[in-house]
Amino acid sequence: MKTLNIAAALAVLAAPAFADGHAASGNGDAANGEAEFNKQCVSCHVVADADGNVLAGRAAKTGPNLYGVAGRVPGTVEDFRYGDAIVELGETTGLGWAEESFVTYVQDPTAYLREALDNNRARSKMSYKVRDEQVAVDLYAYLSTFSE
């Protein structure tokens, strides 16, 4: 059963989120993503580099630092207290956030974790949902500009 769960999580992270290709577009608008980040994300998240320089946001600490989120294994920001489900996802898959998985996650974090882990009791600590798929793609494009 554990092998099946891991395989399912890998499939969710690696495969396009939608068969018609919307989320797997790679056509995110980073400028719109920045505007949306400043509207929707700054109350909980910050983007700060390794030296602590805030590059985006207002030093919020409710959610993890999103610096380097593109490609980062879920649940692995040092000194952040994640929920058990997102840590389990990172430990079982070892895969970093790709556009498809990020877009699907931010649109419904708890549903994403439940499907990826095949566990109806899995919950995300992130209660906010990005309602528009293109906005989620744009957010990923913007956040992808911040990395080592």
Instruction: Judge whether residue 85 has pLDDT over 80.
Output: yes
User: How many Å apart are CA 6 and CA 9, to the nearest integer?
Assistant: 5
Whole-number pLDDT of residue 25: 55
70, β-bridge pairs: 97
Q: What is the pLDDT of residues 18-29, one digit of tens each?
A: 333 344 456 899
Write down all domains in the chain, each with its CATH number in brackets: 2-143 (1.10.760.10)
Average pLDDT, the chain: 86
Tokens encoding 111: 């549903």
Band (58; pLDDT cuts 50, 70, 90): confident
Q: What are phi and psi of 99, to 5 degrees?
A: -55, -45
Whole-number pLDDT of residue 99: 97
Cβ atoms of 109 and 124 closer than 8 Å: yes
User: How many Å apart are CA 146 and CA 47, to the nearest integer?
Assistant: 8
**C-alpha gyration radius of the chain:** 14
The helix/strand/coil state of 55 is: strand
Instruction: Judge whether residue 17 has pLDDT over 80.
Output: no
Whole-number pLDDT of residue 147: 84
Tokens encoding 101: 């998985």
What percentage of the chain reaches a pLDDT higher than 90? 75
Q: What are phi and psi of 16, to 5 degrees?
A: -60, 140
Q: How big is the chain, counted in residues?
A: 148
Q: Which residues contact 102 (CB under 8 A, 6 or more apart)?
A: 69, 70, 136, 139, 140, 143
pTM passes above 0.85: no
Q: What is the pLDDT of residues 102-136, one digit of tens each?
A: 999 999 999 999 999 999 999 999 999 999 999 99
User: How many Å apart are CA 59 and CA 44, to the nearest integer?
Assistant: 9
